[in-house]
Amino acid sequence: MNSQKLILIIDLEATCWDGNVEGLERKQTVDDMEIIEFGCAIAQLDGAVVDSRSFMVRPQVHPKLSNFCTQLTTITQRNVESAPVYQDVVPKINQWLANYDLAAWGSWGNYDKNQISAEQRRHSLVPEFFSLPHINIKQQWRQGKVNSRSAGLANALNYHGLSFEGTHHRGIDDALNIARLMRFTEL
């Protein structure tokens, strides 16, 4: 195993609605949403990806995906129906990461951290990486950049003359694209 510091990059996809939550007369919060994909990339500080994996999750509170969610993420009802539930995915993530010496985990913004906290409230269970320091990679990337207020992932890549690779709003593809920005980030 390489002695370089490794960071786990997480990008989540979750149930979502365009408008009110199914069965409720209000907009969604992280407490309504459920993780449907853990996109994971293990990277060195320079962004070199050591390993990556997608873990699909079957939602339990709102098991039927909205059309909006499927259009946004390309994750289908069939994808989630054949996936294990959150409580069974967490041990699989822990097992996969057991062979890596991670210094921290990071995400593009704080949404992913907040969504995992919501799952912790719901299930009293989080992946072991959640106890590591969290890095808001978007915030770190923005430091020292002019006109970086619109720091969506695609815009950040474009800032460096890079195109988005894969499918936007797929956890694994987003995580791999975040890794590509690590070399331009103040960590």
Summarised one tens digit per residue, pLDDT across range 116-147 is 999 999 999 999 999 999 999 999 998 877 66
Instruction: Tell me, yes or no, whether 1 lies in a domain.
Output: no
The CATH number of the domain holding residue 64 is 3.30.420.10
Residue 57 scores a pLDDT above 90? yes
Closest CA to 169 of 38, 58, 56, 74: 74
Instruction: Tell me, yes or no, whether 58 lies in a domain.
Output: yes
Q: Which domain holds residue 157?
A: 6-184
- pTM value is 0.94
| pLDDT at residue 148, rounded to an integer | 57
Q: What angle do CA 143, 145, 150 make, to 5 degrees?
A: 95
Give the whole-angstrom CA distance, residue 149 versus residue 145: 9
Domain count, the chain: 1
96: left (phi over 0), alpha (psi -120 to 50) or beta: alpha
Helix (H) or strand (E) holding 92: helix 86-97
Paired tokens of 154:
């695609």
